[in-house]
């Protein structure tokens, strides 16, 4: 039971972060442009010291290439490990679960940062995240006051913003070339998926509803979320796309949308999510229920702003259009 509760708590944490994405969109758009500009400058001179302005408008100077790094959120951690910084990462979020090396690192808290633990690990830099920065202001300031550089990464909600974040973290850690290679690979993978999706005729496009949390708190994503961009990429229609950000919907409203396909993202902690959706009372008129077009994809791949996002698009595409995208 403890193991199950830990997973469920992690999902609730993710939903909280996703809700933060929606409420801070305007502020983050500005920081995204700012970071893109900084990344370009850093590409011209990747030496240290390096001065950047983070997502909270704080000016940060990284004096030298960091040897000890802490990530306060799983997405930052995934980027660091993809950059080959396993040895340099000394602390990660309680919810860090990928790659395997992340689960072997010291944990420094989840929703609440363990400042004492962070300081004891003596990091050169702490990579925080805009989705949780407002609720962690006091903790982050304590870390700054201890003389440790804290960089708040933007709360990316698009592929372009994720590319910016990866390249910025590459600049901070002295791995700019590797970061550029990761971004290039992601862009190529996404382009290949888009090319396949372009062959789908207008009359064959499917209406899709994505659940990022189960009953009784069913959440989904509208405009300004990865899910919406992913569905557009694979030529699917997000039936909740007329709303902004991440939000909760009730059963009646979802039934009215009449989706052709329903995607769940919580199969790793909920037993038989497909069966649960198919057996809901009053849903028998929904095309996805009548045709049993209900599929589960891994939540981390479609909601975590990191290098695995293109894997999430592919998994989503195979679920919605198996004849087109399945190899």
Residue 327: predicted pLDDT: 64
Secondary structure (DSSP) of 195-227? HHHTTS-GGG--EEEEESB-TTS-EEE-BTSHH
Residue 134: predicted pLDDT: 83
Residue 326: predicted pLDDT: 86
Mean pLDDT by 10 residues, the chain (327 residues): 40 51 43 48 64 96 97 97 98 96 96 96 97 90 97 93 97 97 98 95 96 93 90 96 94 97 91 94 97 95 93 96 89
Q: Enumerate residues 6+ apart whose C-beta is below 8 A from 6.
A: none
* Cβ contact 107:91 at 8 Å: yes
Among the CATH numbers 3.90.1170.50, 3.40.50.1860, 3.40.50.1980, 2.60.40.10, which is that of 200-325? 3.40.50.1980
Interval 261-313: pLDDT, tens: 999 999 878 889 999 999 999 999 999 999 999 999 998 999 899 999 999 99
Domains of the chain by residue range: 2-186, 200-325
Please tell me the number of Cα atoms within 13 Å of 40 on its side-chain side: 6
Which residue in 65, 41, 71, 246 sits closest to 153, CA to CA? Answer: 71
* Cβ contact 288:209 at 8 Å: yes
- For the domain spanning 2-186, the CATH number is 3.40.50.1980
CA distance readout (Å), 205 to 68, 201, 259, 296, 297: 48, 7, 11, 19, 20
Residue 227: predicted pLDDT: 87
Interval 200-230: pLDDT, tens: 999 999 999 999 999 999 999 999 888 899 9
Residue 97: predicted pLDDT: 95
Q: Determine the Cα–Cα distance for residues 243 and 238; give it in Å rounded to an integer.
A: 10
In this structure, the strands spanning 69-71 and 125-129 are parallel
Q: Sheet holding 261-264: strands in order across?
A: 237-238, 207-211, 261-264, 294-296
* Cβ contact 96:71 at 8 Å: yes
Alpha helices in the chain (DSSP H): 2-23, 25-44, 74-82, 115-120, 130-133, 137-145, 159-173, 176-197, 226-233, 251-257, 273-278, 287-290, 299-303, 309-320, 322-325
Q: Do the domains 2-186 and 200-325 sit in the same CATH topology, yes or no?
A: yes
């Amino acid at each position: 039971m403890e193991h199950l509760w830990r997973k469920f708590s992690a999902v609730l944490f993710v939903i909280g972060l996703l809700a933060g994405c929606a409420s801070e969109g305007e502020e983050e758009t500005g920081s995204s442009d700012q970071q893109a500009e900084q990344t370009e400058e850093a590409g011209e001179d990747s030496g240290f010291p390096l001065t950047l302005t983070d997502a909270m408008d704080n000016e940060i100077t990284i004096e030298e290439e960091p040897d000890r790094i802490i990530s306060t959120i799983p997405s930052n951690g995934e980027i660091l490990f993809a950059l080959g910084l396993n040895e340099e990462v000394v602390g990660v979020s309680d919810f860090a679960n990928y790659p395997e090396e992340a689960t072997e690192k010291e944990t420094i808290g989840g929703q609440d940062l363990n400042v004492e633990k962070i300081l004891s690990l003596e990091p050169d830099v702490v990579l925080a995240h805009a989705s949780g920065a407002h609720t962690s202001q006091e903790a982050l300031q304590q870390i700054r006051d201890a003389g440790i550089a804290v960089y708040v990464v933007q709360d990316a909600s698009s592929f372009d913003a994720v590319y910016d974040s990866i390249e910025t973290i590459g600049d901070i850690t002295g791995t700019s070339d590797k970061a550029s290679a990761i971004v290039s690979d992601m862009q190529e993978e996404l382009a290949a998926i888009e090319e396949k999706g372009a062959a789908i005729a207008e009359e064959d496009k499917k209406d899709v509803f994505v659940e990022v949390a189960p009953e009784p708190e069913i959440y989904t994503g509208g405009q300004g979320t990865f899910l919406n961009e992913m569905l557009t990429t694979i030529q699917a229609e997000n039936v909740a796309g007329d709303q902004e950000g991440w939000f909760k919907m009730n059963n009646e409203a979802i039934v009215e949308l009449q989706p052709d396909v329903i995607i769940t993202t919580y199969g790793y902690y909920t037993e038989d999510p497909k069966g649960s959706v198919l057996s809901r009372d009053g849903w028998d008129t929904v095309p996805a229920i009548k045709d049993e077009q209900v599929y589960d994809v891994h939540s981390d791949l479609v909601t975590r702003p990191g290098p695995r996002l293109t894997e999430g698009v592919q998994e989503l595409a195979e679920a919605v259009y198996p004849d087109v995208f399945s190899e």
